[in-house]
Chain A
Amino acid sequence: MKELALYFQDIARRESIEYADIRIGHYRTQFLFLQDLSPKAINDFERMGLGIRVLYDGAWGFASSTKIEKGEIERVLKKAIEIAKASSIVRGDYRVKLAQEPVHMDKYVVPIEIDPFEVPINEKINLLYGINDEMLKVKGIVKTYSYMELRRRDQTFASTEGSLIETTIFTSNAGYTAYAVGNNDTQSRSFQDYPLNKGYEHIRSLKLKENAERIANEAVMKLYAAEPDEGNMDLVLDPSNLSLTIHESVGHPTELDRVLGYEANYAGRSFATPEKLGNFKYGSSIVNFVADNTLPSGLATTGFDDEGVECQKWYIIKDGILVDYSSTREVAAILGFPRSRGSARADSFSSFPINRIPNLCLMPGDESKTPEELISDVRRGVYIEGRGSYSIDQMRLNFQFGGDLFYEIKDGKKGRMLKNVIYQSITPQFWNSLDGVTDKRFWEPRGFLTCGKGEPSQSAQMTNGAPYARFRNVKVGRGRR
């Protein structure tokens, strides 16, 4: 692929264009899905192709192909130029400019211990089969699902500026769900996504089968749990639940392309507009969000992004104040930032790289604090584990989340199990109500493999790590009408 990338640089530099880059990709995914004891999907996916992006007269063009050869690179380059020329006709006064980035000649490989594609497939199937078998033995369980997804992406990036970057990214993930029926109700409980950029050693470390019986039992217990009281009360959220709230209410609103209106037709815009930078109180003074695309095993830790910008670590919210965004070279230049934050990622060679959420994490506290200590200071509230329902408006203000497991908190103690709990708030109000986080012992790098954005929709992966956290006086309701 390197030879073809060099060939691309050679021919693209001869064109009358401002800039061009190529991504030549080889993507492999193994996806296993069992429903009860029936293997519904045992699939290997392998995709190969190239995508070329061209900047001509201040406007973009992009074309892709599944044929990886010199003649096709020439054809696709011409096509991308033709498209960029069309875009430039209607660009008005705006010209795309790119924030500066040093030229990189580099390689990055996600460090792994066990290549997930070298592990025999029957070991993987037997693991999932055993999990479902274990859960189906629990009385009341009527349906089980288990899955595993293993990814490898080999990509060569080259630009007319001279960068030539080869990356190999591994990602591993598995999980499962049990459904219980009884007491005139249906409830589910999941061992939820815990994907990381690691090899198969991650799957082996998850204690998947060891937790199967507990998960199934908890699904059955939920059938007989009480509905919550409605009203304002305190919340203690575990890292899994909080990771989704972070993703939606901090990750997306601080994507600079969204802030600037690029996603207005679909994913929406953001309340976190540029005049708020450096002065907007996004959260309480203990709210610190660090974006870190160098985080070991983080899902957005790729060495370089998909426009050749080196992965970085930076604050987005510091001591409660909005101080920065995630960005691409184009949108960083619009605000006059000296450098992109390296957040341009595409889900395929055939997709245009867009501004994605980085590994964005809520920092743990410096003081020693356990989840139990957070709970001990709650008179009336709910403790929530895991992810459930989720939705947020297109400016990223009004949100509503559920969870997977709920316990009532009364007078500082975790009490009876609850079900069908939802909490609703407005983003800055919510983060300003945070008054306690656990220390780094309880911080977990939870994350996502299927963050949807863009038209046509693209999927991206990122880690949104969190400690346990306590929020005061949040609106809690019942999720069933």
Chain B
Amino acid sequence: MIEKFREIAKKIIQSSKADHTEVFFQRVKEDNTRFGESRVTQNMSMDQTSLSVTVHVGKKKGTLTTTLGDDIRVEEILRRAVEIAQNNVEDPEYMPPVEKEDIPVIMRVVPDTESVDPKTKAGVLGSIFNDARRENLRVAGIFTNGVYQYGIFNTNGLEAYYETSMASLSTTVQTENSSGYAKDQNEDIGKIKPLDIYAVAKEKAIKGMNPKDLEPGLYDVILEPLAVADFVDFMLFDMDARGADEGRSFFSGKHGQKIFDERVTLYSDPFSELNPSMPFDNEGVAIKKINWVKSGVLENLYYDRYWAKKNNKKPTGRPFSLIFADTEKSMDELIKKVKRGLLITRFWYIRYVDRKSITLTGMTRDGLFYIEDGIMRYPVKNFRFNDSPARALANVIDIGKGRRIVGEEISFATYMPTLLIKDFNLASKTEF
């Protein structure tokens, strides 16, 4: 696909009379099989490429985004983008396109992931449905396989291209009064084990039957990696240097300070085997390994190109990855450390309550278990939490083994450990 993108981009850039022209491509070729009540409810196939052209006229910009068909109306696309730019106001924060840089071209497409046919997927799901029907369980979920291609080209000679495949399966198994959830994803569909994923969700659902009432309050909690991902990912939105410099964020004035437990290290690295990702951001800025928090100390915040230039810093790029350094400690080891607490499988519907303190709210879901004296005792009904990842990461009791996971709150994969947190605020309860 890189050749096709390059050829179209060349045609557009050569035809453009604007001061600068940037061309962005994104192709999504994806098959999604959704299921609910132990049957397929939607089974879909799509192949869509979007083409986005940004022109610069002096310090004014205009962008036109369209679906890419066989008939590319280069003249019309440019005319409309220029018309927008000419009618825009001058941008006091204007930045020309990203300068040319040698960004490695990564092609991570596994052919089997792209080519698996609907019948094969249905066969795999059929085994799960049959088991669920036999066991009087209900199963829901989604089985996805796809190829994703991105390209950025501009008049400064930048050429950035990335492609990857991805397969994922998530499933929720339900009994009359409980549910369990599990999920996995990989570039290679052969490495996804649907029956194993289903087995984890099924075990959670069965262990979770007949949950007991527990009163809200402060509890030590073990967060499984999926729960950590959704909770900690929210913090990423605030790790912006400009917000901090303007006094709007939790991180204001904290650069270089120890803000979290010394065992907390958060970094991004597109080339890490733990969580490989795209090595450039949406503007085409190259992404290199960067520590955000090292041993509890705030080392870096995100700098876009304008704010970096204004403050004499280097732009960091906006990475599509976060890695939270883990340990080899097992779940059982963490459970043994809990005097009185809870095991949380995942969260749901997390939203900000207070941006400055990064206080979030959300619900526990699909597997909540009470732990006492180091032993998992019984399932309990779900809670709403009101707490901050910033506070939680300063109150870490221990860190366990991690895994790569795509949470529900951001679309890209992260690598997250299991976490044992002190005094997590479970503020109210619900009825199931």
A459 to B121, CA, bound (A): 26
Does the CB pair A62–B45 fall under 8 Å?
yes
With a cutoff of 8 Å between Cβ atoms, the chain A residues found around residue B122 in the complex are 86-87, 89-90
Does the CB pair B91–A424 fall under 8 Å?
no
Which one of A120, A352, A475 lies within 8 Å of B87 (CB-CB)?
Answer: A120
Which one of A79, A179, A350, A390 lies within 8 Å of B351 (CB-CB)?
Answer: A390
Which one of A43, A126, A350, A397 lies within 8 Å of B431 (CB-CB)?
Answer: A397
| A83-B43, A90-B129, A391-B351 known; A43-B89 Cβ under 8 A | no
B80 to chain A, nearest CB (A): 6
With a cutoff of 8 Å between Cβ atoms, the chain B residues found around residue A424 in the complex are 384, 427-428
- Interface assignment of B365: CB less than 8 Å from any CB of chain A: yes
B2 to chain A, nearest CB (A): 20
With a cutoff of 8 Å between Cβ atoms, the chain A residues found around residue B164 in the complex are none
Stretch in B8-16, B135-143, B255-263, B271-279 with 4+ CB within 8 Å of A:
B135-143
Does the CB pair A84–B36 fall under 8 Å?
no
Query: Which residue of A has the minimal Cβ distance to B141?
Result: A265
With a cutoff of 8 Å between Cβ atoms, the chain A residues found around residue B92 in the complex are 37-38
Does the CB pair B430–A265 fall under 8 Å?
no
Q: Chain B, interface size: which category?
A: 35 or more
- Interface assignment of A112: CB less than 8 Å from any CB of chain B: no
A44 to chain B, nearest CB (A): 5
- Interface assignment of B354: CB less than 8 Å from any CB of chain A: yes
A83 to B42, CA, bound (A): 10
- Interface assignment of B154: CB less than 8 Å from any CB of chain A: no
A43 to B144, CA, bound (A): 30
With a cutoff of 8 Å between Cβ atoms, the chain B residues found around residue A186 in the complex are 247-249, 355-356
With a cutoff of 8 Å between Cβ atoms, the chain A residues found around residue B41 in the complex are 60, 262
A102 to B5, CA, bound (A): 46
Stretch in A6-14, A45-53, A103-111, A276-284 with 4+ CB within 8 Å of B:
A45-53
Query: Which residue of B has the minimal Cβ distance to A392?
Result: B349
Does the CB pair B430–A393 fall under 8 Å?
yes
With a cutoff of 8 Å between Cβ atoms, the chain B residues found around residue A260 in the complex are 36-37
Interface string of A28-44 (1 = CB under 8 A from B): 00000001011101111
Does the CB pair B386–A481 fall under 8 Å?
yes
Interface of A is mostly: mixed
Residue in A83, A181, A475 with the greatest tally of chain B CB atoms within 10 Å: A83
A26 to chain B, nearest CB (A): 10
Which one of B65, B141, B428 lies within 8 Å of A46 (CB-CB)?
Answer: B65
Q: Chain A, interface size: which category?
A: 35 or more
Interface string of B333-365 (1 = CB under 8 A from A): 000000000000000111111111101011101
B-contacting residues, A368-399, CB 8 Å: 389-395, 397-398
Stretch in B100-108, B167-175, B220-228, B315-323 with 4+ CB within 8 Å of A:
B167-175
B68 to chain A, nearest CB (A): 7
With a cutoff of 8 Å between Cβ atoms, the chain B residues found around residue A43 in the complex are 63-65, 84
Does the CB pair A60–B387 fall under 8 Å?
no
| A398-B384, A481-B388 known; A90-B40 Cβ under 8 A | yes
Does the CB pair B352–A481 fall under 8 Å?
no
Residue in B34, B138, B246 with the greatest tally of chain A CB atoms within 10 Å: B34
A43 to B24, CA, bound (A): 13
A380 to chain B, nearest CB (A): 21
- Interface assignment of A82: CB less than 8 Å from any CB of chain B: yes
With a cutoff of 8 Å between Cβ atoms, the chain A residues found around residue B361 in the complex are 389, 391, 400, 422
With a cutoff of 8 Å between Cβ atoms, the chain A residues found around residue B144 in the complex are 456
Residue in B30, B93, B349 with the greatest tally of chain A CB atoms within 10 Å: B349
B-contacting residues, A441-481, CB 8 Å: 454-456, 475, 477, 479-481
A100 to chain B, nearest CB (A): 21
A98 to chain B, nearest CB (A): 14
| A90-B125, A397-B431 known; A389-B88 Cβ under 8 A | no
Which one of A39, A44, A66, A264 lies within 8 Å of B91 (CB-CB)?
Answer: A39
With a cutoff of 8 Å between Cβ atoms, the chain A residues found around residue B351 in the complex are 389-391
Which one of B140, B172, B357 lies within 8 Å of A480 (CB-CB)?
Answer: B357
Interface string of B216-241 (1 = CB under 8 A from A): 00000000000000000000000000
With a cutoff of 8 Å between Cβ atoms, the chain A residues found around residue B81 in the complex are 44
- Interface assignment of B48: CB less than 8 Å from any CB of chain A: yes
B281 to chain A, nearest CB (A): 15
- Interface assignment of B190: CB less than 8 Å from any CB of chain A: no
A480 to B42, CA, bound (A): 41
With a cutoff of 8 Å between Cβ atoms, the chain A residues found around residue B118 in the complex are 61, 82-83, 85-87
Query: Which residue of A has the minimal Cβ distance to B248?
Result: A186
Query: Which residue of A has the minimal Cβ distance to B170?
Result: A265
19 of the cross-chain contacts (CB-CB < 8 Å) are A42-B62, A44-B64, A44-B84, A59-B40, A63-B46, A66-B48, A87-B43, A87-B122, A92-B38, A120-B87, A121-B88, A186-B248, A186-B356, A261-B140, A265-B140, A265-B170, A265-B171, A402-B353, A481-B425
Given contacts A66-B47, A422-B386, 6 further A-B contacts (CB under 8 A): A43-B63, A262-B41, A265-B35, A393-B348, A395-B431, A481-B425
Q: Which residues of B contact A (CB under 8 A)?
A: 30, 32-50, 61-70, 80-81, 83-85, 87-89, 91-93, 117-119, 121-123, 125-126, 129, 133, 138, 140-142, 144, 170-172, 174, 179, 181, 246-249, 348-357, 359, 361-363, 365, 382, 384, 386-388, 391, 408, 425, 427-432
